[in-house]
Structure formats: C-alpha cells, structure tokens
Amino acid sequence: MPRRLLRDGRVVDDDWLYLTEAAGNGAAPLILTLSQWQNERDVWIARGGRLGVVLSPAHKVELLVPDLARLDLVGAEFAGPSEGRGYSQARLLREHWKFGGELRATGFVRRDQLILMARSGFNSFELPDSEIDNAAAALSTFSFAYQPSNDAGLPLKLQRRPWDTPASA
C-alpha cells in the first residue's frame, strides 16, 4: 500500500520513493539522504528523473544550495517532539534560497505542529496513518497571523499585522 501524505492541504498517495523502497523501480521519483546524494552525486544526476534530498536537523541548508535547481523535493526531518531546526531550514529554503519545489516534513510530524510547519514553508507532511485523515483541519487552526512568514503550506494566506515584509506588502 503506498504511503499516504498530506500535500497542499489534501491527502494523497505518495508518488515518491525513498532509496530503500526503490529496488527494481528505476524510474520512480527518488528521495535520498544527504550523504547518499553527496557520495554519488554524479550517479544520481546521470540517472535522471525527479530527485529529492532529506536533511537531518543538524544539516545546514547551504549544503544543498548549489543543487537546489536540480531538486524537486527537499525534506527536513523532525527527530522528535522537541525538534525545531526544521522550521528554520524551511524558512531559509523558501524565503532566502527561493526553493519552489515540494518541501516535506518527515519524522515526528503531528497535526499539532502542522500550522507552524506550513507557515514556515512545508507543503507536504508525512503524518502517522492514524492522524492523517483529520490533519488537514489543523491547517486552519488560526485565522490570523501576527508575524510575516512565507505561509507556503497554507491553503489561504493569513491576514497579518502592518509590520509585514516590505516584499509582500
């Protein structure tokens, strides 16, 4: 059974495979760890097809910046309920490095953190199967936002305060 995930506010079957899942499937869009990507970068580029890389919390997003144009997906892993580096990774990727592909939250992802993740820039979420069907509603927990952020994963832009970014004003 394919993995289900929440993407752009809808539950969908995942069309991506992790390398460990991809044996015998040469054409599928493929998600690699950063070290898999770095160790055999030329092989993966030669393979062609859509590629994604998942960052661990300690990885600097700058490690991927030279390759962002080649990547259709970047993931950030949340190692546990107190992990928070992925939020900064996501904002940097979206707002500073202008990554426009799929930004996926993996690892410990629960509906209670979804709106924060979506406001930081994640637009897809690997949730436990028990949570996924009710999760989309969590994206509308709040009707307003105090602070600017990219809101890339929200179905609607939130109304914000006047100290919004000059760029989005």
- Please identify, using beta-carbon distances, which residue of 18 and 97 lies nearer to other proteins: 97
Cα–Cα distance, 33 to 50 (Å, whole number):
14
For other proteins, give the closer residue by CB, 24 or 162.
Answer: 162
Contacts of 82 (CB under 8 A, 6+ apart): none
Closest distance to other proteins from the beta carbon of 13 (Å) = 25
Q: 21 or 83: whose CB is closer to other proteins? A: 83
Render the burial of 7-43: b for 16+ CB within 10 Å, e for the rest: bebeeeebebbbeeebeeeeeebbbbbeebbeeeeee
CA 43 to CA 142: how far, in whole Å?
45
Contacts to other proteins by CB under 8 A: 57, 60, 81-85, 87-89, 91-92, 95-96, 110, 112-113, 115-117, 119-120, 141-149, 159, 161-167
CB nearer other proteins, residue 23 or residue 167: 167
Residue 126 CB, shortest distance to other proteins, in Å, is 16
C-alpha 5/C-alpha 2 separation (Å) is 10
Give the nearest distance from C-beta 129 to other proteins in angstroms.
14
